[in-house]
Structures are given as C-alpha cells and as structure tokens.
Structure 1
Amino acid sequence: MPVTTPSYCTREQAKRALDIKETARSDWQIDRAIQSAARDIDSQMNRVFYPTDATKRFDWPNFQYAYPWRLWLDQWELAAIPTSVTSGGVTIPLSACNFEPVNSGPPYTYMELRRDLPYSFGVGSTPQRDIAITGTWAGCPSDTDPAGLLAAAVSSTTATSVTVSDGSLVGVGDLLIVDSERMLVSNRASSDTGQTVLSGLTTASPSDVAGTIADGTQVHVNEVIQIDSERMLIVDVTGNIATVKRAWDGTVLAAHTVGARIYAFRALTVARGQLGTTAATHINASACSIHRVPALIKDLAIAEAENRILQEIAGYARAVRTEASTGNTRAPASASALNDLRDRAYTAHGRKSRSRVI
C-alpha cells in the first residue's frame, strides 16, 4: 500500500523502533500502519498536524453566537498569520486583525478585529460565507527542518522522482518542501553517491566496520548505504572514514572488493503539488526541508504504528509472558503505556471543547 496521505512518522522510524528488517513484505504493512495511525491521531486530537494552503469561508460571527468582532475558527486552525482576510469581498488589512492566542499560537484558534480601527465583518449582502481567509491551515505551527539539497534539477512538473543530497534527513511518509511546493514521499530507492570503497569492508566479518572513501562529506550519519547487495547503516563519519553497522535491513554480510560503488537511498518517489501547493520546476541544489511534526505527536504515531503491526502479527490477540506464583504464564499485552502516551499527547496538543458566548 503506497503512502498517499500525510503521516506523522516515517517508514524508517517505525522500522527502527521495532528493528524490522527491510523486506518488500514488511513495507506495505508498515506504510499502511503509519497512515492509519496518523488518521487515528487526527481523530483523538480533534485537529490535524500537516499544513494545507487554502481559502476557508465563514459566516459572519453574529451567526456563530459570538462577539461581532471575533471569529472562532473551530476545526480550521491557522498554522501562521494568513495572507489575506476579506469580508463581503472587501479586504481587511492584516494590521487590523489580531490572531489569537497571541502568546501561545500558532496554531491560531480565533481572530479578532481591532476595536480601535474602523473595520468590521458583515459588510456583504448576506452573512453566509461573508468572511474569507487565505492562509496555511494546521493544528500546529508550519515549522520545517532542513533536509539537504536537491542532487539534480526537477525539470518537469509531472516528474515523480527527485533525488536529495542526504538520505538520512527524509523518509517515506515525510512532507518534502522545495521552494514553495510540498511533495509527499511515498517510496525511496538507491542512487550513486559517486564514492567507492578505498579500503576496509573487504571481509564478511561483523567487526570489519570502517570503510575509507575519497570524500567523507558525500555520506552522512544515519544514512543507509548499499555496497553490492549488502546494506549498511552509517553510525559515524570521521574525515574520510565511515563507520557502519553491517548486514543492515536484513541483508547478508558479504566481502566487498576495493573499488566497489557505494549507493545511498536518496532517490525519492513523490506525489507532486500536495496540500494546496502547485507542482513547479526546481533547479539543482535547491534547498529542501521537511514539515516538522510536534515531538509528542511523532512519538505517538510511532507507538500507534508499532501497536498495529504487533497486534496484526498476533491476529489481534497479542499476549506477553508474565511471572506468576504458579510459574510462567501468558496474559494479554497491557496498553497502559500507550494509553499514557495518548493522554499526554492530548493534554499537550488536543483541541479542547469551548463554551460559546450566548
């Protein structure tokens, strides 16, 4: 099942948490788990944690049983100050708007017109859909983390493959952002790093973990590389020496000859122009970033995905071994730790109910 909706953790993070080996058999299961976990979290938190650029329309606040200068956004929360606000087609300057809560937002859950300025809602012919706000909507800030550079130009708006410079910074399920375009990463494959083995890694020994290459800046810590048919996880780079964990992702330990090519998983399959953005061309070495999911939400997404995978493997009858006075026995696995994580995530990020002004 390919990744088609935003996820709050990546395939790689879920695998690392459970130490699941890379196989075609497990990929579809994990991709399905991280997507269903994200949608479950949306329901638990009563908000979403991915950004969408759009114009939302609202009735004039008097018909929301609120102060006439205040607009509650309800489930449509702003991830940043919007680009425009209109009422009845008339533009209201952003300087005349207060987006709240000012001290803890974004997300902004409501806006107010400044009462010291001559602007008001309801200037159109009907209160229905009187207010239009164009901006980025999400239940969290639209923050990003750096994800390296494009390793090649994207010369077409229909191309579905992009190559990045650092495979350790982006995974399957991430929202990749290049210029103003958002792309959803649905798969990944290996690409040539331009490096070869100069020494080391030439024996099929788990202790042969240091490989010398020509340019150590061309590989990165936490990046998965492949030499011949063996994959390795880079755990350290010192100068031109990369220290690795051998036989990674379920591959077989093997000897490699000097001069063997080194590949890294940097070729990404993407869905273009996602979440209100437009597919565009991008030049080589354009800066890349990924959408930052709040840490507790990412932790919960990994935990929910883990729970789904383990329960599915056990036919949703998962049990664990316990110690009892009569000896070893098995009992249903406790969900207390997962429930505690759910509660903490909801306390920090859940959208709470509110009382309207009557």
Structure 2
Amino acid sequence: MTEPWYATREDVKSALDSKETARNNAQVDRAVASASRGIDALCHRRFYPWTGTRSFPWPDPQMGTAYRLWLDDNDLISVTALHSGGAAIGADQYFLEPANYGPPFTHLELDLGGAASFGGGPTAQRDIEITGVFGYRADESPAGALADALDPTATTVTITDSAAVGVGSLLRIDSERLIVAAKTMTDTGQTLQADVDARASTAAIPVANGAGFAEGETVLVDAERMRILDVAGNTLIVKRAWDGSALAAHTTDAVIYAPRTLTLERAAVGTTAASHASGAAVFRHDPPALVRELCIAEALVAVLREGAGYATRTGSGDNARESYGGGLPELREQVYTAHGRKVRKRVI
C-alpha cells in the first residue's frame, strides 16, 4: 500500500454488515485499493496530499502568457519554495490561482508588478521547480492521540480512538504522514462491570468508564466482537456478534479489547519519518464526501460481484435486472462533475 485509499476496509465491511466480511479482508482491501485508483483515473487528479518537488518547463513567451504556469494534473495545495533557472522566487512575487476558491490551485502566476521572471536556465526544460504540497486538498479531522511515543523506525503504535481510523486511512502526526496498513486488538484497561448473557437483545454493556470508548469503535470481549452504537454514561450500547463473531455469555471482569494498535507505513506521500511524543494529536485526511461515497460503492460492487462469479444480471424476461451496481453510473457522473479535472489540450 504505497498510496492512501479514499475509504477504509471498515467502511466497506460496515456497509456490507455481513458475516462474510470476517473472512475476506484481503478481498475487501483489494477492492478499495482498485476503487481509489479508479477514481484518480476518472477525475484526472489525486485526492490526497503529496509533499515534494516537481519540475516544469517555463512557459512559451510566444503564447503571450510567459508569466503563467499551468500545473495540469499537479494540483497545488501550498508552496514551500519556488525556483526558476536556479534562482529563488519569493512568495511575494507570485500568486496561486484561482485565488478565490483554491486549493486546489491549478496554475501559478508571477506578479506582473514585481521583478521576478521565469527562465534563466540553459534551456526551458525543467527550468521551474516547485516544492510544496500537491494534491486536491488537505482536509483533516481529529482522530485521537498517541497512547505512547513513536520513534522514527517503529512501525506500530497504539492510539486512543480506533473508531476514527481504518485500514487505508492517511494520518498526520506533527509533520509526518502515515498510512494505516493494519489494526490489532489492544487491552483497553477496562473490564465488564456485570455479567452479560448470550442474547442479541442484550445491547447495554456496563463498563467502568464510558469516556474511554467512542461511538463506532469495535470492542472484543472473549471471542465476541461488538460494535459500539452509542455511549450512555458508563454503558456501551452495542450491536452484538459483530463482524462474523458468535454471540456468547460473558462474566464480570472479562477484559475488553479494542483495535487500537496500528501497523503503519511510515514517511508516506513524500514526508519524512520523525519522533512523536506520547499524547501527540493524530489527524485523519478526509477526501471529498462524494469521492469517499463512490469509493465505498465501487468496492461494494467489486466484492459482491466477485462473490457471485461476476454475474451481472439476475432473473429472466420482464424480471431481468442488473444484480449489482445499478446506481454507479450516476454516482460516477456526480463525482466527475463535482471534482473531475477537465484535461487541457496543448498545441505543439
């Protein structure tokens, strides 16, 4: 997983709400990865931030726009440094456009009232270098904090809230971005405060401190997984037998686990691995809502069709119908209309 996904394994498994998903993580992961890269191709842009340097030829003065550099599929979020012909151009010497509603910024213009210009190198090729954050946007949401310190070489860490993070999530801790490759169960330090019977209707689970859990988090008691639907004081309101596990009775003081240990791909999307202190805030990158919705939908269709041997129609005669994915063309069109980059045509 070298590129982030636009939805998580947990998003798709939650949408399926099926016992089958407990045994097909690899299949779901493959579908989400494929859907994410398919959206990149559909919209001719990437919806995650990438940090680094990219080179461009300086604009042809014969076109009358020697001060304007089109970025094409290199959407910009922010600029750290701009050079042309090896010379630095200060931030007060250029504008990122469109100024009124970027990022993403689609082109860069020199301030015509300033002294800066493109060129100066031996040729126009790769004359301009931009260092910064490239991509559609860098929208983020809080996702808890580190429960322990993280050094630059470690690939696992425990966090305080597993509900906000899934496999495939792109996280930011300080200036480093990381991709979640896996989640494993960790002792939450809490236990059941009363016996719990083996009935699905028994949805109120007493704990010592409800503030230590979050809505949407999965917990494990003995061999039964439960999904937290709500937290009422020190009582968890749960959906029993979650993710293909079996209903079971549990006794007082049974240990409660949660998937708060993350396996990480460090130094993701151009950033550098660094040390992070215990308690450091964790932020999750959020792709546009329509992009996330399409990613989930595409992955769902892929998983269901693979399980059905790629059947596309069921029934016969007047009762024939498409088995999966009937609403996808409309959703794809919505995503492209809202976020697709119209390919610019250049004259050579």
Q: TM-score, normalised by structure 2?
A: 0.95
Deviation at 1:48, TM superposition (A): 0.9
What is the alpha-carbon distance in structure 2 between the residues aligned to residue 65 and residue 135 of structure 1? 27
SS of the residue aligned with 2:332? helix
RMSD between superposed Cα atoms in Å? 1.9
| Greater mean alpha carbon deviation, residues 54-63 or residues 263-272 | 54-63
Select which of 216, 227, 245 maps to 1:233: 227
Mapping of residues 132-281 of structure 1, within 5 Å: 132-138=129-135, 140-154=136-150, 156-199=151-194, 202-281=196-275
Specify which of 41, 44, 48 is matched with residue 43 of structure 1: 41
Q: For residues 55 and 321 of structure 1, what CA distance do their matches in structure 2 show? A: 54
Does the alignment pair 1:344 with 2:338? no
Q: 2:15 is matched by which residue type in structure 1?
A: A
Q: Is the 8 A contact 1:310 1:318 kept in 2?
A: no
Structure 1 residues 22 and 209, CA, compared in 2 at 3 Å: closer, same or farther? same
Query: CA shift at 1:158, angstroms?
Result: 2.0
Segments of structure 2 that go 5 or more residues without pairing to the other structure are none
Q: CA deviation at 1:130?
A: 0.9
Output the CA distance in 1 between the equivalents of 2:310 and 2:201: 39
Displacement of 1:354 in angstroms is: 3.2
Cα 1:64–1:141 change in 2 (3 A) is farther
What letter corresponds to residue 78 of structure 1 in structure 2?
Answer: L
One-letter amino acid of the structure 1 residue matched with residue 55 of structure 2? R
The question of whether the paired residues in 2 share the 8 Å contact of 1:65 and 1:357 is answered with no
Report the 3-state secondary structure (helix = DSSP H, G, I; strand = E; otherwise coil) of the residue aligned with 2:152: coil
Residues 279-302 of structure 1: per-residue CA shift (max 9 Å, x gap):
112111100011110100000100
Q: CA deviation at 1:261?
A: 0.7
2:270 alignment partner, SS class: coil
- Matching residue within 5, 19, 31 for 2:29: 31
Contact 2:301 2:324 in 1 (8 A): no
Kindly indicate whether the alpha-carbon contact (under 8 Å) linking 1:46 and 1:75 is maintained by their aligned counterparts in 2. yes
Runs (4+) of structure 1 moved beyond 6 Å? none
Match for 2:173: what amino acid?
A: V
Say yes or no: does 1:8 pair with 2:2.
no
How far has the Cα of 1:11 moved from its partner?
0.2
CA distance in 2, matches of 1:244, 1:332: 35
- How far did residue 229 of structure 1 move? 0.5
Rounded Cα–Cα distance in structure 2 between residues aligned with 1:314 and 1:65: 55
* Secondary structure of the corresponding residue to residue 79 of structure 2: coil
Structure 1 residues 334 and 222, CA gap change in structure 2 (3 angstroms): closer
Q: How many Å apart are 1:313 and its aligned residue?
A: 1.2
Partner of 1:59: 57
Compute the displacement of 1:319 (Å).
2.6
Match of 1:21 among 19, 22, 31: 19
SS at match of 2:297: helix
Of all paired residues, the percent bearing the same amino acid is 47
1:26–1:239 CA distance, 2 compared to 1 (3 A): same
Instruction: State TM-score, norm by structure 1.
Output: 0.93
Contact kept, 8 Å, 2:305 with 2:324, in 1: the verdict is no
Deviation, 1:331, is: 3.6
Taking the aligned partners of 1:252 and 1:334, their CA distance within structure 2 comes to 29
Residues 116-151 of structure 1 show CA distances to partners (whole Å, capped at 9, x for unaligned) of 11111112232211111000111x211111100011
Partners of 2:71 and 2:248 in 1: CA distance: 58
TM-fit CA distance, 1:337: 1.2
The answer to whether the 8 Å contact 1:66/1:356 transfers is no
Q: Distance in 2 between matches of 1:56 and 1:254?
A: 56
Quote the Cα distance in structure 2 between the aligned partners of 1:20 and 1:61: 55
Equivalent AA in structure 2 for residue 301 of structure 1: C
Give the SS at the match of 1:185. Answer: strand
Is the 8 Å Cα contact of residues 86 and 133 (structure 1) preserved in structure 2? yes
Where does residue 299 of structure 1 map in the other structure?
Answer: 293
